[in-house]
Amino acid sequence: MTNLDSRGMIEAEVSNQAQMRYISQQAADARLNVEIETEGMTLNMGPQHPATHGTLRLVAKLDGEQVVEAHPIMGYMHRGYEKLTEVRTYPQVTTLINRIDWLGSFANEVPFILAAEELMEVEAPPRAKWIRTVLFELSRIANIALFLGDMGVQLGAVTPVFLAFRDREFVLNQIESVTGGRFHPNFDRIGGLKDDLPKGWIDDTKAVMVKMRDFCDELEDLIMGNEIFQARCRGIGVIPVDKALEYGLSGANLRASGVDWDMRRDNNIGMAYDECDWKVWTHPDGDSFARYWVRLQETREATRIVDQLLDSMPAGPVMAKVPRIIKVPAGEAYVATENPLGVMGYYVISQGELTPMRVKIRTASFSNMSISPWLLEGVFVPDVITILASLYFILGDIDR
Amino acid sequence: MAEEPTGDVDTVEKDIVDAVEEDKPEPDPAREAVVEALADAIGSALVGTHIKPGLDTTVRVARDAWSETLAYLKNVQGYRWLEFLSAIDWLPSPFGRDMEAEQDWIVHGRDEKDLPAMQTGLAGGDTRFQVFARLMNIDTHMGITIKADLPDDDVSVDSVVAVFAGVEWHEREAWEMFGIHFNNHPDLRALYLPTGFEGNPLRKDFPLLARRVKPWPGIVDVEPMPGGDDEEGDAT
């Protein structure tokens, strides 16, 4: 019995071994086959991917886990602002262009107004310049605060974004109490501002700036030292300086590649940045981590700029003398400013009418995003999210 | 031709507010030097220049020298940062200048004398379409606008993707919005518009449908604000 049993078992074992050998050979053949005829896969991200502020569709061709080529497909938010500005009077244009980068709306208005002021040879009074600069920096803080939290979400950390939404609200409240709008202030006017600051606003804002500095410290503790954050961001998505310039990257994306250039310091037109003491932050690495680091430092620096300007705020009117119906003399002017997302500029061509003849809107995200096909080539799929998030674009700012 | 620097520098102190360039614009040696160097490099292909002292430079070049100019500015003059590339349609709008109800020529008809002459901007221009690009030198912090005329019967220009890789999307946008063809562009297809869209929306003769369906009240809207001063009564 036992013999028979044992023999039977042995036989069974032998046949199992033969089977195993057969299976493993088959598998080896199959692996070989896979290597010979690799079949790429097309991964379609979006148009409603949460990593995008807006609707971006990304078609990525994959080889295993690696991206072979990536094609962003835009246009889901194209609103034709360049055409619409041709049928709007100059004061009406600000209503539209508010909505380009909807997280830092006030900053969108400023370069256009400055370009119109250049054509009209009007200059805003000092107090208006100061308030403009303060609101500009508040927009920057509100805008980048969301990025600082959102980047955590892309890496699986949910807490920072709640902190960001909580603390951004303080800044938005300050913007709202001046302009009446949380997101779309429509407050900047050719020749100055719509109104002066409300009573007690300066002290409130200073308190908010303290809160925002705490917010930056908190995020620095929470995210920057985090092991997972470092592993996912260090050395990922490196942009060399040459490429960054050639693709027209700007803002923190450019400074994270080590370029020491900031329009606020170097090409300052009609703003009060020269009146305060501040620093341009750069990082030599050019990777996702550097971009996050630079933005965090810039947010903190912006709170310092706001504090200084609030202290040195001159008295006086906030509006220069301008005609009631604004006709801008014929000419061309280009003014760009350092917006939260990067350099934004308006090339305004006027022919002496109520409406501009052509407005070319140069937005930061468009250029920042145009490097993505080059940058995403060869990266792993999970890094696509990190890289896109660290480039920080807003779809309204790409599509216009 | 390059603007010649004003011979003797006017050292008389001017009242800054009132000295809005009367007859003698302040000289801007740095910008003039760039324009002169460009004139030396591309010769007669430089057909127009304009300098706003302390602010801006605009040059107009022949279409054939388009990519040569950009390459020269990038490689020799250090204009390494691409700001944008786009196009301008100088045709006076056939729908009235302001697209306002009173001036809507489609609705009210028009006389030939109403049709305004085509104007052109800084550094001049002879044709309806111009392609223009802006570069920036991030060391000297000076920007420059480069324009080129495109003849009506052949609205095309060489692509500069080989010079500035980032121009690819800008050229795609100009192609779909203005119908300007960029020779040797690697992937000239629509950037924003859906496949099969007909027409080039930013051309002046492309009607803005929303305005055709419902005419804009335009000037009628502008009334004095009750109790308002002369600050503004428009668009608020």
* Res A49: pLDDT: 57
Taking the C-alpha atoms of residue B187 and residue A68, their distance in angstroms, rounded to an integer, is 17
**Chain A residue numbers touching B190 (CB-CB < 8 A):** 75
* Domain total in chain A: 1
Cβ of A266 within 8 Å of Cβ of B141? The answer is yes
Model confidence pLDDT, tens digit, residues B65-121: 888 888 988 888 888 898 899 999 888 777 655 545 445 555 555 555 566 677 777
In a domain, A1, yes or no: no
Is residue A7 over pLDDT 60? no
Tell me the residues of chain A between 163 and 202 that have a Cβ less than 8 Å away from chain B: 189, 194
Nearest residue of A to residue B171, measured between CA atoms: A370
State both tokens at A170. 């303080």
SS3 of A12, please? Answer: helix
Please give the single-letter amino acid code of residue B233. G
Is residue A389 over pLDDT 60? yes
Average pLDDT over residues A219-231: 84
Per-residue pLDDT band for A136 (boundaries 50, 70, 90) equals: very high
ipTM of the complex: 0.79
Tell me the residues of chain A between 104 and 133 that have a Cβ less than 8 Å away from chain B: 118, 121
In a domain, A39, yes or no: no
* Res A53: pLDDT: 67
Taking the C-alpha atoms of residue A57 and residue A62, their distance in angstroms, rounded to an integer, is 16
Superfamily name and number for B29-214: NADH:ubiquinone oxidoreductase Nqo5 subunit (3.30.460.80)
| Secondary structure string (H, E, C) spanning A190-247 | CCEECCCCCCCHHHHHHHHHHHHHHHHHHHHHHHHCCHHHHHHHCCCCCCCHHHHHHC
Model confidence pLDDT, tens digit, residues A341-380: 889 999 999 887 778 888 999 998 898 888 988 888 888 8
**DSSP readout, A347-373?**
EEEE-SSSS-SEEEEE-HHHHHHHTHH
Is residue B14 over pLDDT 70? no
Tell me the residues of chain B between 129 and 148 that have a Cβ less than 8 Å away from chain A: 132, 134, 138, 141, 143, 145
- Burial class, A183, CB count within 10 angstroms (exposed 0-12 / middle 13-18 / buried 19+): middle
* Res A294: pLDDT: 92
State both tokens at A77. 């938010």
Is residue A240 over pLDDT 80? yes
Contact B89, B203 (CB under 8 A): yes
* Res A208: pLDDT: 92
Nearest residue of B to residue A123, measured between CA atoms: B17
State both tokens at B233. 């009564």
Model confidence pLDDT, tens digit, residues B144-175: 999 998 888 888 888 888 888 889 899 988 99
Is residue A237 over pLDDT 70? yes
* Res A210: pLDDT: 92
Here the CATH number for the domain that contains residue A294 is 1.10.645.10
Q: What is the mean pLDDT of chain B?
A: 74
* Res A133: pLDDT: 92
Taking the C-alpha atoms of residue A226 and residue A128, their distance in angstroms, rounded to an integer, is 42
Model confidence pLDDT, tens digit, residues A65-108: 888 888 888 888 888 888 888 888 888 888 888 888 888 888 88
Residue B171: CB atoms within 10 Å: 27
* Res A306: pLDDT: 92
Q: Whole domain around residue A271: which residue ranges?
A: 80-394
* Res A395: pLDDT: 82
What's the pTM value of the predicted model, to 2 decimals?
0.80
**Chain B residue numbers touching A261 (CB-CB < 8 A):** 138, 141
In a domain, A166, yes or no: yes
Cβ of B89 within 8 Å of Cβ of A347? The answer is no
Model confidence pLDDT, tens digit, residues B29-77: 878 888 888 888 888 888 888 888 778 888 888 888 888 888 988 888 8
Tell me whether A266 touches chain B (CB under 8 Å): yes
Model confidence pLDDT, tens digit, residues A249-301: 988 899 998 888 888 888 888 888 888 888 888 988 888 889 999 999 999 99
- Nearest CA-CA distance, residue B97 and chain A, Å: 8
Cβ of A324 within 8 Å of Cβ of B232? The answer is yes
State both tokens at A234. 């260090």
* Res A137: pLDDT: 92
Model confidence pLDDT, tens digit, residues B203-231: 887 877 776 666 655 555 555 656 655 54
Is residue A386 over pLDDT 50? yes
**Chain B residue numbers touching A333 (CB-CB < 8 A):** 56
Cβ of A399 within 8 Å of Cβ of B192? The answer is yes
Cβ of A246 within 8 Å of Cβ of B222? The answer is no
Specify which residues B134 forms β-bridges with: B84, B145
Tell me whether B9 touches chain A (CB under 8 Å): no
Across A41-55, A113-127, B220-234, least confident range: B220-234
Is residue B234 over pLDDT 50? no
* Res A347: pLDDT: 92
The residue with greater pLDDT, B84 or A47, is B84
Cβ of A89 within 8 Å of Cβ of B234? The answer is yes
* Res B4: pLDDT: 46
**Chain A residue numbers touching B164 (CB-CB < 8 A):** 246-248
Taking the C-alpha atoms of residue A267 and residue B196, their distance in angstroms, rounded to an integer, is 42
In a domain, A12, yes or no: no
Tell me the residues of chain A between 373 and 392 that have a Cβ less than 8 Å away from chain B: 374
* % of chain A exceeding 90 in pLDDT: 12
CA angle A69, A75, A76 (to 5 degrees): 105
